A and B are shown apart, each in its own frame.
Chain A
Amino acid sequence: MSFLSSLMNALPGAAAQGLAWGIMAIGVYITFRILDVADLTVDGSLATGGAVCVMLIRGGFNPWIALLCAMLAGMLAGLVTGLFHTRCGIPAILAGILTQLALYSINLRIMDSKANQALSVDKYPLLLSQRYVRELSINNPLPLLLLFTAAVIAILYWFFGTEKGSSLRATGANPHMARAQGINTNSNIVLGLMVSNGLVALSGALLAQYQGSSDINMGRGAIVIGLAAVIIGEVIFGKIFTNFGLTLLAVSIGAIIYYIVLQIVLQLGLNTNDLKLITALIVAVFLAIPYWKSKMFRRKVQPQSAKNGGNGHA
């Protein structure tokens, strides 16, 4: 009983974190699924978003402007990775790792050489804060996070329906075809990385306000959480949600589910120090599910198709 009530208590927080990370996961979806590029910049750009946002608000800027600047900083990080990859011929995954490493130093510079910068909701006019997550008031962060998620999905839905957005999808789906149709695949990859990291940094900025601080390590393992959300969303909603907008919604819901599962596991008595281990295991399991499914499917079908002369499954 106490397990259930404390879980219920933890749910609003899990939902808020899930929504904030969901925006980050949508960024990961753009590179991982649409562009077919594994971008590891995000571990760095999430912290960059948080750092820029916190330092600007501390410096007296409007939180909305801080969010915007955080996003632009993230896009800049994406630009660097994109140029490493397309102009310097560095494999995408390595280009991302290089930028991520460089961002560690840059983030420390932004945060005035401190590993952690506090941003108290008492001192600054923050847009959202963890403190009010269980309150039924205007300060509750959930409506704002929902609004951000809806806006991000709507804008991306529109963008990927435009000529430019379609060319971006074609770049990921078949670069040969894209180039044959006159699409500059390199500049599209750079653009995709910029949009993706802009969203990741926005997520970092929201998270920093939500938790009331930015931390040099807040992005550690972010790519894994993003992938977890993408994959959970696909495993659960892949069959039902075929529309592009709904696919993005599934990613966001995936992030929420991830945080709820995490809460359950924590309520069961696991140490917070073990979080990364649990995360890795959850992602491993969800990554494995589609593979296991295909294996089971094959085992069931094979004897039949062998009888019918066996076509296709070999």
Chain B
Amino acid sequence: MLELKELYKTFNPGTINAKTALSGLSLTLNDGDFVTVIGGNGAGKSTMLNATAGTFFVDSGKVIIDGADVTNLPEHKRAAFIGRVFQDPMMGTAPSMWIEENLALAARRGQRRGLSWGVTKEEKEQYRELLGGLGLGLESRLTTKVSTLSGGQRQALTLLMATLKRPKLLLLDEHTAALDPKTAAKVMELTDRIVREGQLTTLMITHNMRDAIQYGNRLIMLHDGHVILDIAGEEKKKLTVPDLLEQFTKASGDEFANDRAILS
């Protein structure tokens, strides 16, 4: 479903702030893969997701979605294939617009936007039902501005928006990191449900080791801009947090051990 081939990306090349974020990153996702992504700060996790989504173009390499080479396609065109939820709850929604308007915008992802009504009557009914399924009491607030919602409510809404029109690829960039633990757990459960029900091919970055192990069928670890660990299937099911930490240390050498010491 997704092929990343030998991606390279350096930010601010030729300056003292030059930072190589991706160096030869390759990754292939099969149809229906739910991959969790872990790695230290600056490992290139977000850069990988943004390169896939087209937020910027890579220096070299190829991005292929469902057989189509999208490497040179701008962000808004790639959006036809991709649903996204960001780390910052403010990023994924238009705050000054109503809940139903936000959903209607998402329902038309990848379609030509013409001069018919932005939100139809049938849609409103559909949205009421879908929002009811979230269990957050949003079904009665279709014409509430999104700016009045809490961070958790916004992330749940953004998740719904990202999957309203079935994406070929769902990209989740630490979408629960800005939430309190209880809300984060709730949004994570919702994510799992939506991904399973839709059998969505998903890439999910997380800082939470337990989530990384518990969810998905495959786990990858990034370090210095490429994949250094790729565990799937039965092997992944048996993983424990200490296992993972040990694997990390082995894979990334001393450097990660130091990171860990700093972080703990």
Contacts and interface: CB of A to CB of B under 8 A. Distances in A.
Interface in A162-201: 162-167, 169-170, 173-174, 176-185
Contact of A162 (B91, B96, B110, B117): B117
A166 B111 CA distance: 14
A310 interface: no
A125 interface: no
Interface residues of A, number: 22
B113 A185 contact: no
B105 A161 contact: no
A176 B118 contact: no
B91 A165 contact: no
B52 to A, nearest CB: 12
B97 A173 contact: yes
Interface stretch (B71-79, B126-134, B180-188, B227-235): B71-79
Contacts of B116: 162-163
B189 to A, nearest CB: 23
B91 A182 contact: no
A181 B109 contact: yes
B75 to A, nearest CB: 5
Interface residues of B, number: 34
Contacts of B82: 180
A184 B80 CA distance: 12
A174 B96 CA distance: 9
B76 A169 contact: no
B86 A176 contact: yes
A165 to B, nearest CB: 7
A47 to B, nearest CB: 31
Contact of B95 (A164, A174, A181, A182): A174
Contacts of A176: 86, 91-92
B9 interface: no
B115 A166 contact: no
Of A162, A174, A178, A183, most buried by chain B (CB within 10 Å of CB) is A174
Contact of A180 (B79, B101, B115): B79
B136 to A, nearest CB: 19
Of A159, A164, A165, A173, most buried by chain B (CB within 10 Å of CB) is A173
A169 B94 contact: yes
B105 A170 contact: yes
A166 B93 contact: no
Of A163, A167, A169, A170, most buried by chain B (CB within 10 Å of CB) is A163
Contact of B113 (A161, A163, A173, A180): A163
Given A181-B105, A181-B109, A183-B113, A165 B118 contact: yes
Contacts of B77: 182
B108 interface: yes
Contacts of A165: 118
Nearest to B78: A182
B118 A183 contact: no
Contacts of A184: 74, 76
Contact of A163 (B86, B94, B114): B114
Given A166-B105, A167-B105, 13 more contacts: A162-B115, A163-B104, A163-B118, A167-B113, A174-B90, A174-B94, A176-B91, A177-B93, A178-B76, A179-B79, A180-B53, A182-B109, A182-B110
17 contacts: A161-B117, A163-B104, A169-B94, A170-B97, A173-B95, A174-B91, A176-B86, A177-B93, A177-B105, A179-B76, A179-B79, A180-B82, A180-B84, A180-B86, A181-B161, A182-B76, A182-B80
Interface of B: 53, 74-77, 79-80, 82, 84, 86, 90-97, 101, 104-106, 108-111, 113-119, 161
Interface of A: 159, 161-167, 169-170, 173-174, 176-185
